[in-house]
Structure formats: structure tokens, C-alpha cells
């Protein structure tokens, strides 16, 4: 997994159009449909805290976990500025430890796609399972394989604004669903732009692999939907991301 370094400084600008409110709404609706009423939530791969803070503002007890201390520093600055309490934890979700009896775990914005090894995914799901209370839920998203192949791999994306510009090249590998993102940023500092480069490695799997890994960890009652729909209403279209809602099976 990537540990964001200088990227943390420009992450919010890079993600300025991210549908954070949609992730929060999806969380609420998925819980409502499952007749599940969580009080505590752990946000895995929380980044700079945008989703975690929105959930905390709604009254949930929220813990944000990320492997980037730079991201967590920014998240903590936001929570202090807003006077919104969130517990920030510096951990790799593949080695999640010390967190127990949480009602709901979430992992959004294709965080799971940064776990590129099958065994690591199984390990992460087991650690997440162990952190939940009996009948707790885990909700996450990942890039749809068709979207990766048709809309990401071998494409270039650019953006320019007053504070930052970037060039983002996405390359495929010989492995189906695997991507290497090469990003070049130009960040404004006083009267000049500072260049830095980032490389990020992602991989997406068929939904069946994720469900099998969830079952192996002990999850059940799994539901798969597309984009931010809680029901699959447009099966014929290519969807950007898929969501899986899974419930912990009491042993």
C-alpha cells in the first residue's frame, strides 16, 4: 500500500470534487435497509478525514485509521478547527490491532484497491472482522474491473487551478485489474511552482474474490451494488465502483 507523503499536502485540492456526501448518505441508507443502528464507526483509510468528520458531525463515535501520518495530521487539524471529536489512529489496515467491539467499519474511495495481494486482502478482512462486535457490519467500495479496463488504464488525466496542476497517467500491467498511477504535481509556493512526483499501485479483483475473502473471514449476508445505489437499478451500464455490504456472523 502507498503511504502518502508530499501528496498529503495537495490531497484535498486533488480530491476537491470527490462525492464525500454521497458516501455518507450511502452509509446511512445501507444501515437503514439492514435495520442496523450503529453508534461507533471506524473509517479505514480515512485520509484527511473528510468522511470521518461528516459522520462524527452526525453524532457517531468515529475512529479514523490511516497509514499516512501526514494525512492524519491534516485530519486532526480539521477536527480541532471544527471542534468535532474523532480518534485518529496510525495503522496499516492489513495489521489492524487494538480496536474492538466497533459497530460498523467502512473503507471508501477505493482504499481496498491499494491492497494488491490476495493474501493481504484476506488478512485485512480478518482483522476487520475481529474489530467488530457480533453482528457488526463492514461496508467498502472498489473499482469495477470493467471501469478500470475501459476508463482508467492507458488514460491520462490533467487539471489546473490557481494553486496546483497535475498530470496523472494510468498504466496497466500484465496482471488483470492491476494499475500503476504516475502523478506529477506542480504546487504553488509563493511566486513559483514546486514539482514533485508520486507513484501509486492499485489492483482490483472480481467481486466474487472479495466475497469469498469475506466469507473466509466469517462475514455473511453480503450485498453487492453499483456506484452509490443501494439497489442495482442499471445493470446494463459500466459502473465506476462497486460497494459490498457485509455483516459479521456471530460465532
**Topology at the third CATH level for domain 7-143+205-248:** Rossmann fold (3.40.50)
Give pLDDT, residue 189.
81
- Looking at the domain covering 147-202, what would its CATH class be? mainly beta
| 3-class secondary structure, 113 | helix
| 3-class secondary structure, 203 | strand
Q: How confident is the model at residue 234 (pLDDT cuts 50, 70, 90)?
A: low
Q: Above pLDDT 90, what percent of the chain?
A: 78
| 3-class secondary structure, 102 | strand
Considering the chain, what is the average pLDDT of its residues?
91
What is the value of pTM for the model shown?
A: 0.92
Q: How far apart are CA 141 and CA 229, in angstroms?
A: 12
Paired sense of beta strands 132-143 and 102-107, if any: parallel
pLDDT digits (tens, 9 = 90+) for 68-114: 999 999 999 999 999 999 999 999 999 999 999 999 999 999 999 99
Domain ranges for the chain, please list them: 7-143+205-248, 147-202
pLDDT digits (tens, 9 = 90+) for 158-187: 988 878 889 999 999 999 999 999 999 998
Amino acid at each position: 500500500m502507498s503511504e502518502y507523503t508530499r501528496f498529503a499536502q495537495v490531497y484535498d485540492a486533488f480530491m476537491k470534487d470527490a462525492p464525500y456526501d454521497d458516501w455518507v448518505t450511502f452509509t446511512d441508507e445501507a444501515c437503514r435497509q439492514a435495520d442496523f443502528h450503529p453508534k461507533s464507526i471506524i473509517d479505514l483509510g480515512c485520509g484527511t478525514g473528510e468522511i470521518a468528520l461528516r459522520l462524527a458531525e452526525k453524532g457517531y463515535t468515529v475512529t479514523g485509521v490511516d497509514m499516512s501520518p501526514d494525512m492524519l495530521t491534516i485530519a486532526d487539524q480539521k477536527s480541532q478547527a471544527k471542534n468535532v471529536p474523532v480518534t485518529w489512529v496510525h495503522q496499516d489496515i492489513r495489521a489492524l490491532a487494538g480496536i474492538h467491539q466497533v459497530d460498523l467499519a467502512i473503507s471508501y474511495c477505493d482504499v481496498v484497491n491499494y491492497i494488491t495481494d490476495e493474501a493481504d486482502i484476506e488478512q485485512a478482512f480478518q482483522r476487520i472482522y475481529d474489530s467488530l462486535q457480533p453482528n457488526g457490519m463492514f461496508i467498502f467500495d472498489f473499482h469495477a474491473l470493467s471501469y478500470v479496463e475501459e476508463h482508467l488504464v492507458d488514460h491520462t488525466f490533467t487539471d489546473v487551478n490557481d494553486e496546483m496542476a497535475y498530470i496523472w497517467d494510468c498504466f496497466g500491467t500484465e496482471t488483470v485489474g492491476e494499475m500503476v498511477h504516475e502523478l506529477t504535481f506542480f504546487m504553488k509556493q509563493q511566486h513559483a511552482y514546486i514539482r514533485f512526483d508520486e507513484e501509486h499501485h492499485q489492483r482490483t479483483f472480481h467481486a466474487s474474490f472479495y466475497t469469498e475473502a469475506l466469507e473466509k473471514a466469517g462475514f455473511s449476508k453480503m450485498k453487492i451494488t453499483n456506484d452509490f445505489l443501494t439497489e442495482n437499478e442499471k445493470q446494463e451500464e459500466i459502473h465506476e465502483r462497486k460497494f459490498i455490504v457485509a455483516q459479521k456472523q456471530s460465532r
